[in-house]
Copies of this chain bind each other. A is one copy, B any other.
Amino acid sequence: MSLLTVGSVAFDALETPFGKTDKIIGGAATYITLSASYFTKENNLVAVVGDDFPQSMIDDLNQHGVNTEGLEVRVGGKTFFWSGKYHNDMNSRDTVEVQLNVMENFDPIIPESYQDCQYLMLGNTAPSIQQMVIERLGKRPKLIVLDTMNLWIEIANPDLMSLLKLVDVLVVNDEEARQLTHEYSLVKAAAKIHTLGPKTVIIKKGEHGALLFKEDRIFFAPALPLEEVFDPTGAGDTFAGGFIGYLAKTDDISFDNMKRAIIYGSAMASFCVEKFGAERIMNLTQSEIQERVSEFVKLSAFGLA
């Protein structure tokens, strides 16, 4: 089924203990659509860039089957830019610089051809923009998945609360879940998030895996223990892209299928961190993905005697 992804397409400049990059392609929607491209062929993007954004990068997205009809290239505008530096443990980072540029007045235009999308992924951006996308769709998608971040929980809380009522699945990390609910226990946090709207909650715990909550059911997906994390940028978005891409491909939103979707998302994220930026998820094969997924099976399978 067709997927619509909304979010940032950006330039990133990254520094990790392993090295640094010049401006490379980044942004939540970039990672999401690239990751989802390995699962669904109807992969529609809504985003905005400036005219400094190279056509070659748009070509790269198109080659992955991403429909960029909804990618506005604003003449005279500059592309959103983020630069960050990771600490030695890779678990924390400092934002060195942010230039909102064209994202400052992002007005998401939904092309007519996107109108019947069944799966909607609201990549991290201002909640008011995310809600605008839902309102601009003639028909409510079958599944709406929302990603957000600490910034919006702080500065746009009323907007976020209004938006949460409209979505099916919230994807946040553990700190964000705690910040949003003022509950330390993730079980309690998920229960509170259910009351805010989303019937399904995914809490990402980075190297510690992810939890899926749907009413009173819980599933835990491990993260693959890695020798080296080269660059964690985009891992959360890549996870979300794999998750919703797999759901769109299989068109099954049962709890059991969401478990599989989380395993696929986790597998995609485990590739993402192996190289700088989106480099690794630009160049994957289906057999690499299947092999990685079978590593997750081996990692977590046990039989009671």
Q: How many copies does the complex hold?
A: 2
Contact code string A241-269 (vs B, CB < 8 Å = 1, else 0): 00000000010000011011001000000
Chain A interface residue count: which class? 35 or more
| In the assembled complex, A304 has its CB within 8 A of some CB on chain B | yes
Q: A208-B208, A302-B260, A302-B263 are in contact. Are A222 and B225 (CB under 8 A)?
A: no
A250 CA / B126 CA spacing, docked (Å): 56
- Give residues of chain A (199-230) contacting chain B, Cβ–Cβ below 8 Å: 205, 208-209, 211, 217-222, 225-229
A300 CA / B188 CA spacing, docked (Å): 19
> Are A304 and B297 touching (Cβ within 8 A)?
yes
Which 10 pairs from chain A and chain B are nearest by CB? A208-B208, A220-B222, A259-B302, A187-B227, A187-B225, A220-B299, A300-B300, A185-B227, A220-B300, A188-B227
The residues of A with any CB-CB pair to B shorter than 8 Å are: 88-90, 184-188, 205, 208-209, 211, 217-222, 225-229, 250, 256-257, 259-260, 263, 293, 297-300, 302-305
Give me 21 A-to-B residue pairs in the complex whose CB atoms sit less than 8 angstroms apart, sorted by A's number: A89-B184, A185-B225, A185-B229, A187-B225, A187-B226, A208-B208, A209-B209, A209-B222, A217-B298, A218-B225, A218-B298, A218-B299, A220-B222, A220-B299, A256-B302, A260-B304, A263-B304, A293-B304, A297-B304, A300-B300, A300-B302
